[in-house]
Amino acid sequence: MRLYNIQHSTSALPYLEQAAEAGDVEAMYYMGEAERRQRMMNMTRAALDWYLKAAEQGEPYAMLRLFQSGACIAGDECPKDAEGWREKALAETLPKAEAGDTDAMLALYHIYRLVDDSGDGQEWLEKAAEAGNPEAQTRLGMNIRGGQGWYFLESRRLEAAEEWFRKAAEQGYVPAMSDLAGVLEKQEKPEQAWEWTVKASEHGDVGERFGIGWCYLNPQELNSEAGIDMCQNKQDVVLGWAILLAMVEETSNHSAQSAMRRNKDEITSEEIEQAKMLAREWVEKEPPLSNFPPRFGY
């Protein structure tokens, strides 16, 4: 999963397969996701087979992938006890949600969206968020920020989104930390935004770690491109170079490589050697860097 989470799906496959073959349902699902990623999100026979195995063990998101791919219609891979995979996902997930399972409530949000019944889906999303599920809270905040709901003022919309992001972030949910930093920037609260950017970076968020590194390497450049005073730090080219170099070593991050190329004249050869020593500490930092891909995304 560490490899999968930094988009190294090919490298992740052998390890995921070991777990999947041993009966780990989550690994079965992510085997399907990793196989699909390798084909630009197109379904393959290998991905289909892993989704089928996960679906047989009750994994609702695998069922939704099978529905999206038309497995029942085009591939004649239909559930024995339901009209289709979407219907089976609904039948198996609804009782769990009604019993108070917040992960099931969140799954219902996605299921109902695929049933073209966004009303029921939104209700279950709100129930999951109100019950404290951080992923649901973050999704609800994203929906509000994106235009869902009636808000007369844009400032009130941002405040509502901030409220849900903050609830999730304070539970340690890293994607929410990043979203919270973003919405605080839009509200022109740079100091608070920086605080959550740093926290997200410390928890392994790739995007925010890149932002921190760039801010130390060349804060004027980043602030100029962002159009706001995002960087609330003093410039430290050695630290910035070290952070970006560590990102390249750990994840082969192209954005970090690009920032280093653009700013190679900002740092001396002696400072680069210092940064190389410091980068070792950043490569070994835990938790590992991650893009935190959503469980059920594209």
Question: pLDDT by residue (tens digit) across 3-14?
Answer: 999 999 999 999
Q: Which CATH number fits domain 1-57: 1.10.10, 1.25.40, 1.20.1530, 1.10.3470?
A: 1.25.40
| 118-176 residue pLDDT tens | 689 999 999 999 999 999 999 999 999 999 888 989 999 999 999 999 999 999 999 99
In whole angstroms, what is the distance from residue 179 CA to residue 144 CA? 12
169 Cβ neighbours under 8 A, 6+ residues apart? 176, 177, 179, 180, 196, 199
Paired residues of 205 in beta bridges: 290
| Of 222, 223, 289, the residue nearest 251 (C-alpha) | 289
Q: Is residue 32 pLDDT above 90, yes or no?
A: yes
**All structural domains of the chain with their residue ranges:** 1-57, 204-298
Q: Is residue 76 pLDDT above 90, yes or no?
A: no
DSSP 205: B
Residue 75 pLDDT: 66
If you average pLDDT over residues 219-243, what whole number do you get? 94
Q: Is residue 297 pLDDT above 90, yes or no?
A: no
pLDDT band at residue 117 using 50, 70 and 90 as cut-offs: low
Q: Is residue 74 pLDDT above 90, yes or no?
A: no
Amino acid at 265: D
Higher pLDDT, 122 or 74: 122
In whole angstroms, what is the distance from residue 278 CA to residue 177 CA? 26
Amino acid at 101: D
Distance of CA 140 to the CA centre of its chain: 15
If you average pLDDT over residues 278-297, what whole number do you get? 95
Q: Is residue 44 pLDDT above 90, yes or no?
A: no
Q: What is the mean pLDDT of the chain?
A: 94
H-helix or E-strand spanning residue 156:
helix 154-169
C-beta atoms surrounding 101 within 10 Å: 17
The residue with tokens 């999947």 is 20
Amino acid at 297: G
3-state secondary structure of 172: coil
Question: Model-level pTM?
Answer: 0.93
